[in-house]
């Protein structure tokens, strides 16, 4: 019989994690670093589930064997190749029949394997529990500033020896604004975003602050989980001061791609009511003329600066200038006392 292991974060760094669930389940979320070796396809799982409910477990299991037995050699070969000598840990939804089947296949070929106790559901409880009451062992620093300030770019160049940077917008694949999805692909499902974020916090060293960008509760279609938003509001807040001219140049540089032109027109249409007819028409004309700097200037004046941070009910612990990133990095150290 395969060993049964309770979930521990250390397993993610030592085991070849095998997800036996369907591709659809895997796409919604999975353990960090896991590979998907489904014993059933999406359609087969539906068929087996229907048989189980209508005719009972024995008929469902026999049908499952008929559907999958020809794949057994390939399943074993795929897993052993991916493991490359590492210990193997397999899981399914609740640590049931699917992970048990793969574990027994591996054991029959002489390959040691363990099952994850409680399966994905047990792991999910760990992630949810972390965000229900976020408690970080290091200082959390939150950078705030107007759209186009260059906060994300600044975060990306901070030295890893001094800071742990967690890119919330990168994990969410959205910049949190009307044009936030451009070039970032499809957003992850909520559960996947939470797992990626949990894993980023898990891997953060204990000898340096964590830095994130200030966000609203919602980033595109995903939400900051649990009480993370409230924890960010109580953390070290730093205001990033940048001239409008610099913001215009940075926004224009970020969006000056011809393949963005049509999605930008669609984004303008979505905020048409907030802009008003006259401003919408003017900005659309600038976009059609591919006057990207003019468009950025207009959005800053007529949209972003009227919408974001219009009312700020808090005072930052310090202010830094992002006109020059090198100097800003030193200023951030001073503000945070490192």
Q: Which pairs count as long-range contacts for 74-82, CB under 8 Å and 24+ apart, including other chains?
A: 75/37, 75/39, 75/102, 75/105, 76/105, 76/106, 76/109, 76/111, 78/35, 78/37, 79/16, 79/18, 79/35, 79/37, 79/106, 79/111, 80/106, 80/109, 80/111, 82/16, 82/18, 82/35
Does one domain contain both 149 and 59?
no
For residues 42 and 177, state if they share a domain: no
Q: For residues 74 and 162, state if they share a domain.
A: no
Cα dist from 189 to 25, 88, 167, whole Å? 11, 27, 17
Do residues 196 and 49 both lie within one domain?
no
Predicted local confidence at residue 319, as pLDDT = 96
193 and 51 in one domain?
A: no
Q: Looking at residue 218, what is its pLDDT?
A: 93
Q: pLDDT at position 102, please?
A: 95
Tell me which residue range forms the domain holding 231: 134-336
Number of domains in the chain: 2
* Together in a domain, 307 and 270: yes
Q: For residue 286, what are its two tokens?
A: 């600038």
Report pLDDT digits (tens) over 76-92.
999 999 999 999 999 99
Q: Do 26 and 19 form a contact (C-beta atoms < 8 A)?
A: yes
CB 287 within 8 A of CB 265: yes
Domain boundary among 114, 129, 144: 129
* Same domain? 213 vs 65: no
pLDDT at 41: 86
Do 166 and 300 lie in one domain? The reply is yes
Task: Pick the last residue of a domain from 109, 129, 149.
Answer: 129
Looking at 110, 129, 148, the residue that finishes a domain is 129
Using DSSP bridges, classify how beta strands 164-165 and 210-213 pair: parallel, antiparallel or unpaired: parallel
Distance CA 129, CA 136 (A): 13
For residue 175, what pLDDT is reported?
A: 86
Residue 45's pLDDT is 86
Query: Tokens for 217?
Result: 């509760």
285: domain CATH number?
3.40.50
pLDDT given for residue 78 in this prediction = 97
Please give the pLDDT value at position 235.
96
Same domain, 155 and 11: no
Active site residues: 92
Do 219 and 142 sit in the same domain of this protein? yes
pLDDT score at 114: 97
Stretches where the chain sits below pLDDT 50 are none
Helices (H) and strands (E) in the chain, counts: 18, 12
> 166 with 249, same domain?
yes
Residues 220, 256 share a domain: yes
What's the rounded Cα separation, in Å, for the pair 35 and 52? 27
Q: In what order do the strands lie in the sheet with 210-213?
A: 164-165, 210-213, 140-144, 236-241, 318-321
Residue 203 has a pLDDT of: 97
> What CATH code is carried by the domain that includes residue 50?
3.40.250.10
Identify the pLDDT of residue 309: 76
pLDDT of residue 178: 77
pLDDT at 100: 94
């Amino acid at each position: 019989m395969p060993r049964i292991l309770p979930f521990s974060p250390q397993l993610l760094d030592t085991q070849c994690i095998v997800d036996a669930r369907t591709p659809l389940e895997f796409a919604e979320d999975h353990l960090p670093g896991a590979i998907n070796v489904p014993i059933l396809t999406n359609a087969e799982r539906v068929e087996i589930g229907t048989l189980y409910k209508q005719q009972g477990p024995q008929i469902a299991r026999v049908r499952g064997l008929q559907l999958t037995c020809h794949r057994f050699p390939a399943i074993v070969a795929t897993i052993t190749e991916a493991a490359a000598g590492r210990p193997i840990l397999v899981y399914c939804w609740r640590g049931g029949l699917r992970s048990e089947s793969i574990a027994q296949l591996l054991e029959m070929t002489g390959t040691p394997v363990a099952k994850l106790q409680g399966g994905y559901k047990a792991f999910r409880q760990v992630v949810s529990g972390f965000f229900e009451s976020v408690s970080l062992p290091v200082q959390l620093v939150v950078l705030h500033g107007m759209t186009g300030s260059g906060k994300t770019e600044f975060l990306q160049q901070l030295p890893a020896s001094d800071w742990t940077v967690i890119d919330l917008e990168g994990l969410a694949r959205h910049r949190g604004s009307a044009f936030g999805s451009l070039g970032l692909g499809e957003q992850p499902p909520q559960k996947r975003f939470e797992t990626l974020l949990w894993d980023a916090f898990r891997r953060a060293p204990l000898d340096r602050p964590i830095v994130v960008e200030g966000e609203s509760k919602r980033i595109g279609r995903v939400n900051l989980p649990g009480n993370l938003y409230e924890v960010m509001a109580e953390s070290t807040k730093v205001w990033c001061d940048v001239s409008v001219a610099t913001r215009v140049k940075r926004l224009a540089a970020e969006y000056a791609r011809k393949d963005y032109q049509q999605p930008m027109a669609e984004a303008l249409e979505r905020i048409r009511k907030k802009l008003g007819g006259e401003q919408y028409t003017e900005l659309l004309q600038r976009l059609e003329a591919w006057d990207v700097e003019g468009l950025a200037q207009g959005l800053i004046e007529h949209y972003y600066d009227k919408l974001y941070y219009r009312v700020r009910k808090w005072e930052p612990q310090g202010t830094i200038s992002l006109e020059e990133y090198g100097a800003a990095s030193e200023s951030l150290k001073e503000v945070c006392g490192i």
